[in-house]
Structure 1
Amino acid sequence: MRTKIVATLGPASMNHAAMRAMVRHGARIFRCNFSHDRAEAFTDVVRWTRQLEQEFGIRLTVMGDLSGPKLRIGEVAGSPLAIQHGDRILLGLAGKTSPDHKDLPCITLDDPAPLSGLEQDMPVSLSDGMLRFHVEKVLETDMLFVLKAENAGLLTSHKGIAFPGKFHPLPAFTEKDRRDLREGLEVGLDAFAQSFVQGPDDLDDVHAEMDRLGVRVPLVAKLERRQALDRLDEILERCDAVMVARGDLGLEMPLISLPVHQKRIIKACRRHSKAAIVATQMLLSMVKNPIPTRAETTDVANAVLDGADCVMLSEETAIGEHPVEAVRILGGIAKEAETYYHESSRQTLEARVAKKGPSEYLAYAAALLAETASGTALVCHTASGATARRIASRRPGPRIYAVTPNEHVTHLLNFYADVTPAMADTSMERHVARAERFIENCADIHEGETVIITSGQPTPGQLRARANADEQPPAPTNELKIYIK
């Protein structure tokens, strides 16, 4: 299977046996949610993951999901309250009241920032969109409002609140995230996802903290705010992958628009050679049921056909009754979709390039050569992972193996469809020799099969340029070779 599976760990799956079974069925990334635990709770997860790497002989990634500024209301008097269509409630800063509306139920926020700029007719949603309101009247600017219900439901304490389409002055990277990042790195997490990203500055904040801590690991931007889509290209330049987090993103726009936006995001990821993760309710019915619905199987397949690198399970593996079966079925759907995808695209392989440079064309040439020379695999030696990302974005038919001397790059490349990362044998200086050594030792590449190798070894002119440079950038990919094992 080429598509990567991200499995969220929780009470149903945070044990060695379940993780082992999920890896056997295709899980390559384990998601640890900081909304429910601190880093110390994931110490065993990291240890088990390293053991599973040794057992299966593959690279696995443990990703910490930073909470971000999740907005929640305070205590609601008389909770739970039944709200009917047309009912009115008060929304205000904690401690604010209105004598003229004292009979209305009241929900409060401790932080005034989310209320800043809230105006009449703006939408407000509660409980992940189950209760929808609009601002009927502004009683006190930025402080107190009357909301009118647009549907019926239960109003309970401490539920999440959202203001669809409204810019939030709160930074995505909170003090809690800062602590979780530091502690997560200490216990050995391999990558992080930042929630509620609105623009590139939010990612710059995370990278600055990583630099302060002296380590850079892969960073995933979770797209949950409508504003993020307006700056998607800038966000893609700052992150290693994006997650189409359809739960909160679906609150920020009409649900009828969400499928098209998902396709646009994936297409943009392909242009930038960045990984795309599709998440939320992929197989939600399997939280309780042993098989998914027909609509869910179609949803997963369409995500793969659109070009998603990863599909993610949340409640299904965290608290569901069938976590391992959910991974098995998800992998089966993805594999069927991949077969159709490559059958239909083999004759129309495109050069999907964001910048028309030598590196992009070399990646395209490698993918095209693999097709025309009946290659079994592509093996690229890569220091940063860039060459593997570019080749993967073309979706060639043969499997891609990325051989790298840098361990953190293996965790990064686990997010990319088609790519199997491996550590390079650094006892040899020449990069092409390292790739050839990998091919000779790889049991999945058989004698007589054709392999396309890409690598980068500095030429005399490049060595002179690097000697005069302030930094020593990795050698660019400049070598393409047909190798028969």
Structure 2
Amino acid sequence: MRGYYRHTKIVATVGPATESEQKLSQIINLGVDVIRLNMAHGTGEWVQSLVARIRSVSSQLQRQVAVMMDVKGPEIRTGPVPEAIELNIGDEFEFYTETPTPGVTGVIVNYPGLPGDVAVGSTVLVDSGLLRLEVLSKDETHVLCRVLTPGKLGSRRHINLPGVDVNLPSLTEKDERDIRAGVAAGIDFYALSFVRRSDDILVLRALLDSLGSRARIVAKIEDQSGLRNLEAIVKVTDAVMVARGDLGIEIDYHVLPLVQRRIVDNCLAEGKPVIIATHLLESMISAPMPTRAEISDVSNAVRERADAVMLSGETTTGLYPLECVEVLKNIVKSTEPVEVRGMNDAIKLTEPKSKMLRSAAVLAQELGQSGIVVFTRSGFLAYTLGALRPIGVPIYAFTDDEALFRQLLLPWGVEPFLMPFSDDPEETIQNALKYLKRRSWCDRGTWLVVITNALAHGKVIDSLQLRQIE
């Protein structure tokens, strides 16, 4: 068996600091599992060019990565201003949707429904919550506010309405254009921003189905509506992202760690992968080393048993993108081996085959220095085994489906391999075991737990086998 095996996956966002062929080669070589494309700053043409570059570099390195498109989603933003507006405590300030009120300082917003969604006395947050305003009055096209925290308001700043279920579509026209470009490029995952209800996921699913895409969907939980409907969202999505940027603005800051834990626990119970995102190593955008608090934050995400940790600005515009990936790897490597909790017993396993997977995980753990081998065309076996969280047990997932192969790069503990399957199950098993030995994943004499089909008197049955590397 190889030395340390990393179970927690790493997602890195690419941008100016990392999108060159050289930088992509370096971050892929360092061990990034999923590359994220942030469509808040991207176009369809950029997606197609970049995905082609990622695939080319991966082929050269003989190490594949999955690609995730982060769909921008609907946002409420202020319009352009000639120069930043100075706001002082107590100032009156207006948001308007058509024409300004004469003599009142204000800015236009891109959402006509704003006056109908806010209530007098409610709070409007602008620019990541740096500016806080209270609603004094409103009419059909104007919202008059009083400034509660001072600052400067620049152009096109993001607006948050804590606790308000805004009447925005789940996908904008730009989102649909981007998704179509992503399907043409072969995107593996779509992260949907500002998911408020399960129907938002179903809308995206219907679009992907209509385009013939089998990509998986990641629901980004970013506001109070998403939290209120969390259980229903987790049931219909393929994975979840704890998007702590907007989420941390929408809720009281001191409960964010508790909310993060709640989302992770809910995903563990449903067997859905969960990604912890935003500000993991924010200081490393401009500093070569993380803060002690950031180290603890990443370690906590690993100990909570998240499937993946994600870098955003750190690897898009940061000065130390490669160092950030290395830091994540080092924290994960120090944290995972001291995990003492048992497997995930919150997951609901109803099918006999699912319960067989739990037995396989227990057996592999008790064998020690073992692993589990599965053969899959749907991903069910590998995703379920990852959700069980067998500590210290690699999950070797073999598939003959290239699209699924990349989708298996996200779940915890799963190492996928692309390999043709034989009509003879025994030949397929032997090919897999030889591959693991040839590529130094397992040493001679290693005992592995194998989940496979077997023929018994002409019938195909599910089987759990013990095999030793020869």
TM-score tier (shorter): over 0.9
Per-residue CA shift, 1:72-124, capped at 9, x if unaligned? Answer: 11134x63122222222112222152xxxx44321222332233231112111
Could you say which residue in structure 2 is the equivalent of 1:408? 403
What is the distance in 1 between the residues matched to 2:407 and 2:115? 38
Per-residue CA shift, 1:406-438, capped at 9, x if unaligned? Answer: 222122221112111111322x12446424321
Q: Which segments of 5 or more consecutive residues in structure 1 lack a partner in the other structure? A: 464-476
What is the distance in 1 between the residues matched to 2:104 and 2:457? 78
* 1:132 to 1:456, Cα distance in 2 relative to 1, 3 A: farther
Could you say which residue in structure 2 is the equivalent of 1:127? 127
What is the distance in 2 between the residues matched to 1:431 and 1:124? 61
Per-residue CA shift, 1:250-304, capped at 9, x if unaligned? Answer: 1211111111110111111111111111111110111111111111111111011
Could you say which residue in structure 2 is the equivalent of 1:315? 313
The residue matched to 1:270 in structure 2 has which SS? Answer: helix
Per-residue CA shift, 1:123-145, capped at 9, x if unaligned? Answer: 1110111111121x2231x4322
Alignment of 1:378-457 (within 5 A): 378-396=372-390, 397-426=392-421, 428-431=422-425, 433-442=427-436, 443=439, 444-456=441-453
Task: Tell me how far 1:459 sits from its aligned partner.
Answer: 7.5
Asked if 1:169 is matched to 2:167, the reply is yes
Task: Tell me how far 1:55 sits from its aligned partner.
Answer: 3.9
Could you say which residue in structure 1 is the equivalent of 2:227? 229
Identical columns (%): 32
* 1:159 to 1:326, Cα distance in 2 relative to 1, 3 A: same
Could you say which residue in structure 1 is the equivalent of 2:207? 209
What is the distance in 2 between the residues matched to 1:264 and 1:216? 29
Aligned pair partner of 2:80 in 48, 56, 75: 75
What is the distance in 2 between the residues matched to 1:67 and 1:115? 23
Worse overlay, 432-441 or 275-284: 432-441
Preserved contact between residue 221 and residue 240 of structure 2 (Cα < 8 Å): yes
Worse overlay, 309-318 or 369-378: 369-378
Could you say which residue in structure 2 is the equivalent of 1:87? 91
Could you say which residue in structure 2 is the equivalent of 1:466? none
Preserved contact between residue 163 and residue 224 of structure 2 (Cα < 8 Å): yes
Aligned pair partner of 2:27 in 15, 22, 34: 22
* 1:462 to 1:171, Cα distance in 2 relative to 1, 3 A: farther
Could you say which residue in structure 2 is the equivalent of 1:479? 463
Normalised TM-score (structure 1): 0.90
The number of residue pairs the alignment matches comes to 460
* 1:447 to 1:61, Cα distance in 2 relative to 1, 3 A: same
Per-residue CA shift, 1:15-56, capped at 9, x if unaligned? Answer: 111111112222111111111121221334323322343344
The residue matched to 2:35 in structure 1 has which SS? Answer: strand
RMSD over aligned Cα atoms: 2.0
Could you say which residue in structure 1 is the equivalent of 2:3? none
Alignment of 1:156-305 (within 5 A): 156-305=154-303
Task: Tell me how far 1:164 sits from its aligned partner.
Answer: 1.1
* 1:363 to 1:167, Cα distance in 2 relative to 1, 3 A: same
* 1:412 to 1:114, Cα distance in 2 relative to 1, 3 A: farther
Preserved contact between residue 125 and residue 161 of structure 1 (Cα < 8 Å): yes
Amino acid in structure 2 at the alignment position of 1:447: R
Amino acid in structure 2 at the alignment position of 1:329: V
Task: Tell me how far 1:210 sits from its aligned partner.
Answer: 1.1
Amino acid in structure 2 at the alignment position of 1:130: L
What is the distance in 2 between the residues matched to 1:329 and 1:9? 17
Normalised TM-score (structure 2): 0.93
Task: Tell me how far 1:379 sits from its aligned partner.
Answer: 0.9
Preserved contact between residue 191 and residue 411 of structure 1 (Cα < 8 Å): no
The residue matched to 1:79 in structure 2 has which SS? Answer: coil
What is the distance in 1 between the residues matched to 2:370 and 2:456? 29
The residue matched to 1:483 in structure 2 has which SS? Answer: strand
What is the distance in 2 between the residues matched to 1:435 and 1:120? 66
Worse overlay, 188-197 or 352-361: 352-361
Asked if 1:54 is matched to 2:52, the reply is no
Amino acid in structure 1 at the alignment position of 2:173: E
Asked if 1:377 is matched to 2:371, the reply is yes
What is the distance in 1 between the residues matched to 2:264 and 2:54? 29
Task: Tell me how far 1:191 sits from its aligned partner.
Answer: 2.0
What is the distance in 2 between the residues matched to 1:208 and 1:256? 37
Preserved contact between residue 382 and residue 402 of structure 1 (Cα < 8 Å): yes
Could you say which residue in structure 1 is the equivalent of 2:351? 357
